[in-house]
Each structure stands twice: as C-alpha cells, then as structure tokens.
Structure 1
Amino acid sequence: MSPTRRTTRRSLARRRVPRAAALALLLATATACANDVPEADWSRGLLPGHITEEGNVIQSLWNGAWIAALATGAVVIVLIVWASMFHRKRRAKAELPPQVRYNLPIEMLYTLIPLVMVSVFFFFTARDSERLAQVTGNAPVKVKVEAYQWSWRFTTTVNGKTLPPVSGVPVSEYTKGPQLVLPTKTKVEFDLQSDDVIHSFWVPEFLFKRDVIPGIPENNPGRKFEITTLDRTGVFAGRCAELCGVDHSRMLFSVKLVPQAEFDQYIATQQAGSAQ
C-alpha cells in the first residue's frame, strides 16, 4: 500500500472517531431521564420489589424464563466441552467423523426438543399476558391517567365519587411532578389517555408498564388495566418510558400507597377542598 493511501485512511479514521463520539453522546442525552426521581430504588437488582399482586405473576414468569435459559445454556456448554475434549483431531490426516444425517431418531430428537421448549415458553407467556390484561370493571378505585407534554393529570373515582384532578406543574416551575395517592390491599383500574403523542405509564415497582396511545376509543380494553396493591406503604417513583419529545425527562410522577384509613381521610380532605 502506498504512503499516500495510508495517510488518507488514517485521516479518515481520525475524523470518524469524533463523529462517532458525538453521535453516542447525542443518543445518550436524547434517551436519558432525569436522575432526581424521588424514591427510586434500584438496589434490589433488575426487578425491584413489587407492590402489586400482578407483580407476583411477572416475577414468576421472569424467574422461570431465567431458570430455563440457564439450564439450556448449561446443557449447550457441556455438549461443547464434551465434543471438544473427546472428538479432537488425533491423526495427522484428519478424517471425517461419523455422520448422522438421515439418522431419523437423532433428527427427531433435535427437532422435537426445541419445539417443546418453545411451546412451554409460549404457554406460560400467553397465560400470564392474559392474566395481566384482564379488566373486571368492578374496581372500587378508578384512575383516569391523562398524559400530555410534559406532565400527567390523575383523576381518581372512589365508589362512584370523583375527586378533583391532580395535575403536574409547568415545565418552568418543575419540581417532582404530581403525586397519585392510592390505598393498600385494593383493586385499582387505570384508564390511560393522551391527546398529543405516545407516552408510557411506568411505575417500576408495578413490574408493568403500558403505552398511552392517542386516538384509542374509550371502550377499547387496550387502554385500561387493573392492579391490586399489596399491604406495603410508601412513595414510589413513576415516569414516562417512551421518548415523547424534548422535555421527556421531566415527565415524572409518584404513587403514594397509604392504609385505607389514611386514604379515607385523604378523600375527605380533597372533597372538602373542592367544595370551598
């Protein structure tokens, strides 16, 4: 290769490095969320401790998938090591090992085993997905979630009585977003709405999230889901998990779980405030 070509290639490589670094920085900043989300606890691993009964379903599916994947990986590694150790080339002139094509039992074995594995994965995934998508319509607490650029509005209905909506603040006055108060050990129905772009309603401790897609009719079950809260109080962070625009990182909120007695007091306070 001529010196001129080498110089040209080195020059192009030097130009590509800053461009690649700039592109990586742009992607990282475009998809990043704010780090000041309240009460976000990631210390318990990939799946934080859940606060809903539905989280038990997701946790079981997750654990089962990992156990099956690790078992499959262990079998494959053992077979690779066995083949490497006991089928090494021992002669100067390599000979083909015994061929197994047209061996019907072996072909049936390595066809049926993956088919059974995929069928088992599909069965449990379909069963749990149907369970998570089930909406009975008889939840005592119903929350209408309105996502908009760049915050949230929560309107809670308790036993047919609607409380004043809880909204976010303008971006210029942003602090931590609105807070949704819910009782423990209670079934809650969420109705997700958006009038601008696609958002995503996500509370990590739910172990579940659902996209908020504009234009879905009210009677469409795809915009509703139910959870049953566990007997665990506290404040849990929520956020938009869909890149929805320039201030996506500010679309934060929190869910506060309180005992039923404290929730009844909260309802009374909210109704008294709206009556004034």
Structure 2
Amino acid sequence: MGQQLHRAPMRRLRRAALVATMGALVLLAGCSAQTQDEWKNLAMPDPATEQAVHTFELWRWSWVAAMITGVIVWGLIGWVVVRYRRKHDDEIPVQTRYNLPLEIFYTIAPIVMVVVFFYHTVNVQNIVLDDTDQDQTIEVVGQQWSWTFNYRLDGSTDGPVVWTSGTGSQIPTLVLPVDQTIQFNLTSPDVIHNFGIPAFLMKMDVIPGRTNHYEVTPTTTGDFVGKCYELCGTYHSRMLFNVKVVEQAEYEQYLSDLEDQGNYSEEPLLGGNFVNEQAGLDDHSEEEAE
C-alpha cells in the first residue's frame, strides 16, 4: 500500500510531462517557417548586420548559461526531494542551519554570474555603438506618426540630401546598400520615438532636442521591417517602415530617382506630410472596420 502511494506522484509527474511535450509539439507544428527559425535561434531573428552577430551571440550564450544553471538547480531540487524524503509517517527529517560553506556558495556564485554577464554585455555594447568611418549617412526623423529618411549624397556627413517620407496612407521604405557601413542620425521634432529594425537586433530612442546615432553594416540583401518601439501618441501603431537592402548600384540608382522626383534639399527634411494627410488614416480606419 505504501509503495502504491509513493508511485502515484511519479505517475502524475510523467503524465504532466507527456501532456506538456505534446502541447509544445502542437504549437510548433502550427508555427510559420519564420517563427520556427526564431525558435531555433531562441526567439531571435537571423542577424542581418555585422553588429547584430555580436548581440545574437550574447543572447545565445546567455540562454546557454541560464539553461545550465536551471538544470543544476532542478537537479539539486530533485535530488533533495528523493534523498531526504520522509520514509515513515513518524520520521522527522534532519534539520540543518548555519551551513557557512553553503551560504558562502549561494552568495558568491550569483555575484560571479552577474559580473560575467555585465562584462560581456558592456563589450557587446561597445562594439555595436562603436563609431567607424561610415560609408553612408542617413538622417532619420521620427515624427508623429511616421518616418522621414534623408540620404546624404556622396556619403557626406553634412552635405545636401535626397529624402523620402511616410504619410497617413503610405508606409515609407528605407533603402540601404549591402556591405556598406551606414550611420543613422536620429532626431525628432515632437515627442520621443524609438527607431528599431528587428533583423538588425538594434533599436534606439529618438529624442527631441538631441541627436542619437548608431551604425549598421548589412550583410545580406532582402526585405525587412522596422517600427517605433516607444509609445508616442494616438497613431503609434502606424509608425511602421519597410527596409530594403540592395546592391550598391541599385542604391545609387534609388538616390538618383529621388533627386529626379524633386526630393532634393540642401538641409535634411525635419518632418513629413503625415499631419497634412490625416484623412489617409481615417480612410484606413474605415477600411479596417469594414
């Protein structure tokens, strides 16, 4: 009778583990290919820039460290449960207090882990925020509620620009050359926004009255998405933009096309036509409601 009582919790534990495994398999089976890739990367997209690789490696090895720690802790919990379980109803387990070596270990070990994480985090931060000799400079303006991209001509840092801007009815596209180092200078004329591209594994606040900046070096051509990560007002959810990484010749042709369209200025455009096309949002809202 006693053996049956001890076996009952184990049967329930095995049954719960089986149900959890089956549930996880069902969820993974319903995921898209992109989502499955992100799960393979521990919920991260494939890094698409030289800088993003460092962020991805930090994320991956942090997960490895966390899983190793978890396995050790779960193993110790299981060992204690089995080793020191009550074998008889009238038995009182041994009570242990003031175990100095154990107390020193569980105090020092977490401190060491935090120091190691801090060290590698600072290293990666220094790498992704390092200023180099950029090939292109793009003045990014976040305004309620869209984006304006000013491309400095001839790779200059203070020369004339060609620009493109989103409106209430049009999501702008940011075009970047592959294998070129691009510096984003981030400014805002109104409130705080946040400029981020998931595949680049980087985002940064866009703050009125100051210019933040960071660099990326795309390593693969293709289409990506970007958005504002800071709640910035009524239509924050529409602060989206597309990203297209192309070959250098196609990038130069794109800038030439913008200039031919009249999107040329001696100074960066500090805001687009979003407010003037508020009706575009209302039209979209009606379409979505239908």
Partner of 1:185: 179
3-state DSSP of counterpart to 1:267: helix
Aligned-pair distance for 1:250? 1.3
Aligned-pair distance for 1:93? 3.3
Partner of 1:90: 87
Q: Give the length in aligned residue pairs.
A: 224
CA shift in 2, pair 1:42/1:245, >3 Å: farther
Does residue 118 of the first structure (1) align with residue 114 of the second (2)?
A: yes
Match of 1:253 among 241, 245, 250: 241
Q: Distance in 2 between matches of 1:43 and 1:196?
A: 39
Q: Distance in 1 between matches of 2:229 and 2:105?
A: 43
Does residue 64 of the first structure (1) align with residue 53 of the second (2)?
A: no
Question: RCO higher in 1 or 2 (8 Å CA, sep ≥ 6)?
Answer: 1
Residue range with higher mean Cα deviation, 43-52 or 150-159: 43-52
3-state DSSP of counterpart to 1:44: helix
Structural RMSD (CA): 2.0
Give 1:1-276 correspondences, 5 Å limit: 42-45=35-38, 46-101=43-98, 103-136=99-132, 138-157=133-152, 158-160=154-156, 161-169=159-167, 171=168, 174-175=169-170, 177-216=171-210, 218=211, 223-230=212-219, 232-274=220-262
Amino acid at match of 1:263: Y
Aligned-pair distance for 1:259? 0.6
Amino acid at match of 2:189: D
Amino acid at match of 2:198: P
Q: Structure 1 unaligned runs (5+)?
A: 1-40
Amino acid at match of 1:99: T
Q: Distance in 1 between matches of 2:66 and 2:207?
A: 33
Q: Distance in 1 between matches of 2:252 and 2:36?
A: 32
Q: Distance in 1 between matches of 2:46 and 2:199?
A: 6
Q: Tell me the alpha carbon deviations over residues 195-252 of structure 1, each in whole angstroms, 9 at most, x when there is no partner.
A: 2111111111111111112122x4xxxx11111111x212211111212111111111
Percent identity, aligned pairs only, is 38
CA shift in 2, pair 1:99/1:152, >3 Å: same
Q: Distance in 1 between matches of 2:178 and 2:88?
A: 72
CA shift in 2, pair 1:43/1:146, >3 Å: farther
TM-score (norm 1): 0.75
Q: Distance in 1 between matches of 2:150 and 2:35?
A: 29
User: Quick check: 2:134–2:183 contact (8 Å CA) kept in 1?
Assistant: yes
Q: Structure 2 unaligned runs (5+)?
A: 1-33, 265-290
Partner of 2:29: none
User: Quick check: 1:163–1:270 contact (8 Å CA) kept in 2?
Assistant: no
Aligned-pair distance for 1:120? 1.0
User: Quick check: 1:100–1:106 contact (8 Å CA) kept in 2?
Assistant: no
